[in-house]
Amino acid sequence: MTEIKFGTDGWRAIIAKEYTVENVKRVAEATARWMQLKGMKKVVIGYDTRFAGKMFAEATAQVMSNFDIEVILSHNFVSTPMVSLAVVKYQCDMGIVITASHNPPAYNGFKLKSSYGGPTIPSDIAEIEAIIPDNAIGRLPDIQQLVENGQVTYHNLEDLYINHVLQNFDIEAIKNSNIGLVYDAMYGAGQNVIKRLLPDATFLHCTYNPSFMGQAPEPISRNLTELEQLIKSDVRYNLGLANDGDADRIGLYDEDGQFVDSHHILLLLLMYLHEYKGMDGKVVITFSVTNKMKKLAEMYGLDSEVTKIGFKYIAEIMIDEDVLVGGEESGGLAVKGHIPERDGIWIGLVIMEYMAKKGKTLKQLIQEIYDKVGSFSFDRDDLHLTNQQKSDAIKHCESGLLNSIAGTEILSSDNLDGYKYFLPHDEWVLLRPSGTEPVLRVYAQADSPQRVRELLDGVRKELNI
């Protein structure tokens, strides 16, 4: 029997190894039984572009129907935010997305969404995880029979999403601006939406390819070299937008072909929504996000809060409080006026609308941020270590014996989620083992890319990794 554990954002495993139809049915049964205990009766199920997504989604639908739960099933691949939006629009009790998000192509996964249109809270996940049966449920009616019986209905969740976008954005202003957009879907589930909304853009990797050409569909700079080079080589392009496999994360490039990380995007969102649109609310960020967000929030007189890493912790706060901007370093960002869900396409449209309304490039808007909170650089290393190396590194952090990094004295530390070390001149370093992959992540902020690299290399030297 495979032990199934949910990580920071759902259960993920390697297809045909741990991720099998039988194991998906086990998770689906636990979800269905939990829904029954809570009096829940309706679920929406979607899947992204990964291998056999439709098959796994239909297997989930079969199990749900067996427990008399009404199923809305996506008619084609969709993004995670499309499922989350459908949960709200169709007044469902739960949403299920068959996706491994940004993980390598060998993986698939199982995400849970709740009635508010965002990640299911950790305590509910724990309850579901605790009742996963040892064996998969037996033979079930095929999907066509369930459709004929009215237990499963197909819906176009992409159309639903696009209509929602058109009601909330000035798409014509974006179309009529001087934005020369290159969009990279990374072969993911967002590939059709931008084609439909902004057909004059230039498109990369916007075809159905479950192999993702062997690359993890994570929108970070080292995975987006083709997008970067295209912008650098052609003056017609002044904005690059990329999304991950299930389109809930974002990557951006400015007119010089420079990668714009999530820290800068969060600052732009806060500035646009508060200064330009006159909106207020709380600022919520995860432990790995720049402290410049707290600084800008203070300048605006807005409350702020730092959570553990994982968007589900932000979503918990968004459910109950008035949150203006929420986000994490890895590209999962959310804003007021939408569902409490990270949405890479939605955030990209907010930034494009900002550029269109202000008549400025992304680089010019970022300079306005620097004028307020100061310039900074950030980077992250994902260290693929042996279990022993990872364990030794964490033990060294736990010991409290780490006193300096790259020759600079550590002023203070915080272990809310990992080990974060604060240095002079607004510099910091964070070490944290991944919750979904066999890696140790090392993050650093400083005033220049060169200094960031010194800090990242300094960590490896100090910990001998």
d(CA 382, CA 195): 32
Count of the separate structural domains present in the chain: 3
Q: Are residues 398 and 343 in the same domain?
A: no
Is residue 164 assigned to a domain?
A: no
Q: What is the CATH number of the domain that holds 30?
A: 3.40.120.10
Which range has the worst mean pLDDT, 159-173, 212-226, 427-441? 427-441
Angle of the 262-271 helix axis to the 344-358 helix axis, nearest 10: 50
Is residue 18 assigned to a domain?
A: yes
Percent of the chain with pLDDT over 90: 89
Backbone angles phi, psi at 224, to 5 degrees: -125, 35
282 in helix, strand or coil? Answer: strand
pLDDT band at 464 (very low <50, low <70, confident <90, very high): confident
- Give residue-wise pLDDT tens across range 334-389: 999 999 999 999 999 999 999 999 999 999 999 999 999 999 999 999 999 888 88
Q: Are residues 152 and 177 in the same domain?
A: no
Is residue 385 assigned to a domain?
A: yes
Q: Are residues 33 and 84 in the same domain?
A: yes
d(CA 205, CA 186): 5
Q: Count of CB atoms within 10 A of residue 115's CB?
A: 16
Whose CA is closest to 94, among 73, 64, 124, 114?
114
- What's the confidence (pLDDT) of residue 386? 84
**CA angle 237-242-243, nearest 5°?**
160
- What's the confidence (pLDDT) of residue 112? 97
- What's the confidence (pLDDT) of residue 233? 96
Q: Is residue 435 pLDDT above 70, yes or no?
A: no
Is residue 3 assigned to a domain?
A: no
Contact 68, 82 (CB under 8 A): no
| Mean pLDDT of the region 217-227 | 95
Q: Are residues 210 and 117 in the same domain?
A: no
Q: Is residue 96 pLDDT above 80, yes or no?
A: yes
Q: If you search the block for the tokens 């459709």, which residue do you land on?
A: 147
| Mean pLDDT of the region 388-411 | 90
| Mean pLDDT of the region 159-182 | 97
d(CA 23, CA 56): 10
Q: Are residues 256 and 153 in the same domain?
A: no
Whose CA is closest to 363, among 211, 179, 207, 200?
179
pTM of the model: 0.93
Residue 40: domain span: 11-158
Q: If you search the block for the tokens 């994490």, which residue do you land on?
A: 328
Quote the tokens at residue 233: 């080589």
Q: Are residues 54 and 201 in the same domain?
A: no
- What's the confidence (pLDDT) of residue 1? 77
d(CA 152, CA 129): 25
Element (H, E) at 386: none
Quote the tokens at residue 421: 């070390």
Quote the tokens at residue 5: 């554990």
Is residue 404 assigned to a domain?
A: yes
- Give residue-wise pLDDT tens across range 303-335: 999 999 988 899 999 999 999 999 999 888 999
Is residue 425 assigned to a domain?
A: yes
Q: If you search the block for the tokens 């989604």, which residue do you land on?
A: 57
Per this entry, what is the length of the chain?
Answer: 465
Q: Are residues 321 and 423 in the same domain?
A: no
- Give residue-wise pLDDT tens across range 232-252: 999 999 999 999 999 999 999
Q: Is residue 267 pLDDT above 90, yes or no?
A: yes
Q: Are residues 186 and 323 in the same domain?
A: yes
